Homo-oligomer: A and B are copies of this chain.
Amino acid sequence: MAKKSGSPMLATADDEKNLDKKSARTRVRILDAAAQVLSAKGYAGMRLGDVAEVAEVQAPAIYYYFSSREELIEEVMWVGLADMRAYLATALEQAPEDADGLERILIAVGAHLRHELEISDYATAVIRNGGQLPDKIRERQQQEEKKYGAVWRELFQSAAKAGEIRSDLDPYVAQMLVMGTVNWTAEWWQPGRVSIDRVVANAQAFVRNALAPTA
């Protein structure tokens, strides 16, 4: 069940100093556990006791690293969103020079899907809980969330402008429908029945045909 941990790739200036100290690893273990539990049980259902169990510490130890349950949750959401964006950005940077707008959208679909399914509990935590966070927390995420949405919007708008998306589709609605196909995957996919590669290939074919103008 538990997938890999969040953003070692995202080490920022002030992380660097203690990336390897045992204590820093415990902190990560707690954060990972929180992402896992949050993803499975939802915002209100996440018990610090469960997080502690997964992280293999006693519940009060969490307070040595985070000042409250809320702060812990906020950090999971923040890291999750930042990771998603970084992962997507990297995938897009590596796109072939000559990729057109539609192809770039398909690259985004693949990256988002892989990140969501094989890499990160943080991503599924973000995807599943966006809706039911209390306002206080949501506001603070809004910023990051907008940035992530902006990347996608940009992809859709430029593809639409280039005539690479069927003109009977509203670009905004089309974007949301595509995000639905990929985000919802977290709800039904599980290792075993269908391979990730197969899901990715199907989703890309699905989206390509959905969007592409009939030749």
Residues of chain A having any CB pair with chain B under 8 Å: 40-45, 128, 130-132, 166, 168-170, 172-174, 176-185, 187-189, 194, 198-199, 202-203, 205-207, 209-212, 214-215
Contact = CB atoms under 8 A, between A and B. Distances in A.
Contacts of A202: 168-170, 173-174, 177
Contacts of A183: 180, 184, 187
Contacts of A173: 194, 198-199, 202-203
Copies in the complex: 2
A209 B198 contact: no
Contacts of A177: 181, 184-185, 202-203, 206
A206 B130 CA distance: 25
Contact of A166 (B131, B176, B205): B205
Q: Do most interface residues of chain A lie in helix, strand or loop, or is the interface mixed?
A: helix
Contacts of A212: 209
Contact of A132 (B41, B130, B169): B41
11 contacts: A40-B132, A41-B132, A42-B132, A166-B205, A168-B205, A173-B198, A173-B199, A180-B185, A183-B187, A206-B210, A214-B215
A212 to B, nearest CB: 8
Given A41-B132, A173-B199, A202-B170, A184 B194 contact: no
Contacts of A132: 40-42, 45, 128
Contact of A170 (B128, B198, B211): B198
